[in-house]
Structure 1
Amino acid sequence: MSAGFKDHFSGSAGTYAEARPDYPDILFEWLAAQCRAHDRVWDCATGNGQAAVALARHFGQVVATDASAKQIEAAKQAPNISYRVAPAEASGLEDACCDLVTVAQALHWFDLDAFYREARRVLKPGGVLAVWTYAPLHAPEDPAVDEAFRHFQDVTLGPWWPMEHDHCRNGYADLDFPFERITAPKLVIERHWGTRELAAYAASWSSTAAFRKSEGHDPIPELVTALEAAWGEPEKRCRILWDITIHATRL
């Protein structure tokens, strides 16, 4: 674990693994199509292994690393995934051994210069580096739910978000990515969720944990009350979207 590692998620690793939405299959189909070979991929900052499991369907071997041992312990398994505890800037992989390096929703935590050096080192000539993030969710057909959730996220939890979270909101527009880019598709994560799923998702946030620690109580019941009032019925579900932004290059 590097000295600069900010561990916001180990305390909720199990909740994180259960509550976070999976990425669409088309994302991994597109990533595989960019690669000249499909022998090995390094999924850096794998978290609960969501991206690693999907990548395992397209590559012979996935090496998935995370600086959090708790996250690795809770990660999803597949026969061709090898999980390791390692920081983004020092993977422990050999030189020129990967066809693809991926970072899902985590680049904003890295020492970018050090990570980019590591990615260049482990990629084969012509290998692909792809990073992505997703914006806060929205409910396009249900503005009342949208407003209730945004109020909880931005007002109730506003002071407890780490400053790095702003990079996700703007699609990494202000993070350095000093490479010639591959044109990437515009994709979304789509789910049909109700109060239970939305509450579990919010409970997995680092800002929620920080609120509990600072204020001495759980803010999630407040969110549940607001959502049920917005919906008017406890069992209703609606279409939830997260817009994905991909930055990719061939090195």
Structure 2
Amino acid sequence: MKDNFSTKADDYARYRPEYPDAVFEYLEHILPRKENAWDCATGNGQVAVRLASFFDQVYATDISKSQLEHAHRHPNIQYSLQPAEKTGFPAGFFDLITVGQAIHWFDFERFYPEVKRTARKNALLVILGYGRIQVNPNIDQCIDELYTHIVGKYWDAERKYVEEGYRTIPFPFEELPVPVFHLSMDWTLGHLRGYLETWSAVKHYMRHHQKNPVAIIYPKLKAGWGEQEKRTVNFPLLLRIGKIN
């Protein structure tokens, strides 16, 4: 698994979108047991802290020490520095395993056996993520210029799985049908800029060129934003749920 998010982990915690309440209400409803959950590649713990409201115990792992240091704290969450593909958890332990906006970085051939080893029979694997941000045509055009033309060649190859809506990742589980959920928030222009600066391709560009590519589009972005303090931003929500037999 790659670690693209140890640098500026506090920005990642501050600017990344939160998943909607309806997703977690749905998971709580469909899960027969809620003893132990594993939030894999937890990052800032945004999924783990939501699971902690209805699980006895949440075990949240990541390979980034910096991310874990900035993660949400909760008495029901135990954080540990562990790779997705090899953990110290006992066999047949988890009722739920979640991965939020990270499955595309994993070594599938090593991660899925670890999922099957650590899961109880009929536990669920939930893959969450979000696609390209959408605001309005003028702002979307600026973001596309950044995404495609400025930092396009700096995206890791794994990014294709996100662009394909996680539909093309290997998924050797009994897949369950899922409802359609919507991911929308009201952001300021500053929040949008902060989010764009968390992109892995932006970080790669900055390391290579020693300058911030978001600054290139910012004048157009600001003009497109206008005088309005906040605007609604939307993300396609990616969700796959598999039963682990």
Q: Among 116, 124, 128, which residue is 1:132 paired with?
A: 128
The match for 1:241 is: 234
2:181 paired with 1:187:
yes
The match for 2:168 is: 174
C-alpha distance in 1 between matches for 2:217 and 2:185: 19
CA drift at 1:34: 2.2
CA contact under 8 A between 2:189 and 2:225: conserved in structure 1? Answer: no
The match for 1:67 is: 63
The residue matched to 2:187 in structure 1 has which SS? strand
C-alpha distance in 2 between matches for 1:19 and 1:232: 21
* Deviations, residues 83-103 of structure 1 (Å, cap 9, x unaligned): 000000112111111110011
C-alpha distance in 1 between matches for 2:235 and 2:53: 23
The match for 2:7 is: 11
CA contact under 8 A between 1:199 and 1:223: conserved in structure 2? Answer: no
* Deviations, residues 59-97 of structure 1 (Å, cap 9, x unaligned): 111000001111111111111000000000112111111
Identical residues among aligned pairs (%) = 35
Q: How does 1:1-251 map to 2 (within 5 A)?
A: 5-139=1-135, 142-233=136-227, 235-251=228-244
CA contact under 8 A between 1:195 and 1:224: conserved in structure 2? Answer: no
Segments of 5+ residues of structure 1 without an aligned counterpart are: none
C-alpha distance in 1 between matches for 2:57 and 2:124: 16
Letter in 2 for 1:115: F
CA drift at 1:106: 0.7
CA drift at 1:222: 2.3
C-alpha distance in 2 between matches for 1:250 and 1:34: 11
Letter in 1 for 2:240: H
TM-score, structure 1 as length reference:
0.93
Letter in 2 for 1:247: R
TM-score, structure 2 as length reference:
0.95
Letter in 1 for 2:165: G
CA drift at 1:230: 1.4
C-alpha distance in 2 between matches for 1:73 and 1:85: 10
C-alpha distance in 1 between matches for 2:238 and 2:187: 22
State how many pairs are aligned.
244
The residue matched to 2:86 in structure 1 has which SS? coil
C-alpha distance in 2 between matches for 1:236 and 1:166: 33
CA drift at 1:53: 0.7
The RMSD of aligned alpha carbons is: 1.3
Letter in 1 for 2:69: E
* Deviations, residues 42-61 of structure 1 (Å, cap 9, x unaligned): 00010111100111111111
CA drift at 1:214: 1.0
